[in-house]
């Protein structure tokens, strides 16, 4: 944070909020699946899960997948509700797989292949971008530009000039991109929404927001 003088010590100044959202197409997909087997005793459950996991691993190797991993085998009790009571229904052995794809055209085929090979739990499919750092830096520069433009507009209307930057405070970009989950909040108006064009519905929003305090100077 750049702060040449604390805001509460200033008698003159204009504070402006700048924000932007850039939407970028994903180029990385992460698929999480698992094999799970239920048996009445732990040993058969372990054996069945390992056999199913070997089939999934063989599919991944045969498909030429380079970036994937599997978890250790886990065991838990399987309970079912009967007449408002929980009854023991066996032991569940589970092995998870994490597959990372950098070719978006392979996502559907890979999911189908994993399930066909024996993965009976599809846990999640998430999308990311390898350009996150680059795009986020661009979003921050555009947020600063949006704040400056807004400050200059206000100052021109008031007959003064926005001068040097006195303070810069980073704001939470999740309030701009709307990624706060179930938390209730009021999103600020986005100043720079990027180029207006049709986007992939799976496009990843990368936001930046900033509060900037400018000194006031008398207009000449």
Give residue-wise pLDDT tens across range 63-120: 999 899 999 999 999 888 777 778 888 999 999 999 999 999 999 999 999 999 999 9
Instruction: Give the list of residues 6+ apart from residue 158 with CB closer than 8 angstroms, or none.
Output: none
- Does an H or E element contain 96, and which? strand 85-101
Average pLDDT, the chain: 85
Q: In what order do the strands lie in the sheet with 204-218?
A: 2-3, 160-171, 204-218, 14-24
Contact 95, 44 (CB under 8 A): no
- CATH 3.30.70.2970 in the chain: give the residue spans: 28-128
Q: What is the C-alpha to C-alpha distance for residues 33 and 20, in angstroms, rounded to an integer?
A: 35
| CA gap 130, 102 in Å, rounded | 9
| Lowest mean pLDDT across 68-72, 187-191, 199-203, 214-218 | 187-191
Give the C-alpha distances (Å, rounded to integers) separating 157 from 51, 98, 133, 154, 220.
Answer: 73, 56, 37, 5, 14
SS3 assignment, position 210: strand
Which residue carries 């405070």 as its tokens? 169
Residue bearing the bigger pLDDT, 38 or 188 = 38
Q: Which of 132, 102, 122, 112 is nearest to 206 (CA)?
A: 132
Domain with CATH 3.30.110.170 in the chain: 2-26+131-218
Quote the CATH superfamily of domain 28-128.
Answer: Protein of unknown function (DUF541), domain 2 (3.30.70.2970)
pTM score, whole prediction: 0.71
Look up the CATH number of domain 2-26+131-218.
3.30.110.170
**Cα 204 from Cα 125, distance rounded (Å):** 14
Identify the pLDDT of residue 176.
61
Determine the average pLDDT of the residues in 138-144: 95
């Amino acid at each position: 944070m750049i702060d040449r003088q604390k805001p509460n010590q200033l008698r003159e100044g204009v504070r402006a909020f700048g924000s932007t959202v850039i939407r970028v197409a994903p180029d990385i997909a992460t698929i999480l699946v698992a094999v799970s087997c239920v048996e009445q005793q732990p040993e058969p459950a372990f054996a069945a899960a390992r056999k199913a996991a070997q089939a999934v691993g063989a599919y991944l190797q045969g498909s030429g997948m380079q970036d994937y991993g599997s978890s250790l085998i886990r065991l838990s009790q399987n309970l079912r509700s009967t007449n408002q009571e929980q009854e023991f229904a066996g032991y569940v052995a589970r092995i998870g797989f994490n597959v990372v794809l950098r070719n978006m055209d392979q996502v559907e085929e890979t999911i189908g292949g994993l399930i066909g090979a024996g993965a009976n739990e599809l846990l999640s499919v998430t999308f990311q971008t390898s350009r996150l750092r680059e795009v986020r830096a661009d979003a921050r520069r555009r947020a600063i530009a949006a704040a400056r433009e807004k400050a200059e507009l206000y100052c021109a209307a008031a007959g003064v000039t926005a001068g040097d930057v006195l303070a810069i405070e980073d704001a939470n970009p999740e309030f701009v991109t709307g990624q706060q989950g179930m938390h209730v909040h009021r999103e600020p108006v986005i100043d720079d929404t990027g180029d207006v064009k049709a986007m992939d519905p799976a496009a990843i929003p990368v936001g930046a927001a900033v509060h900037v305090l400018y000194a006031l100077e008398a207009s000449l």
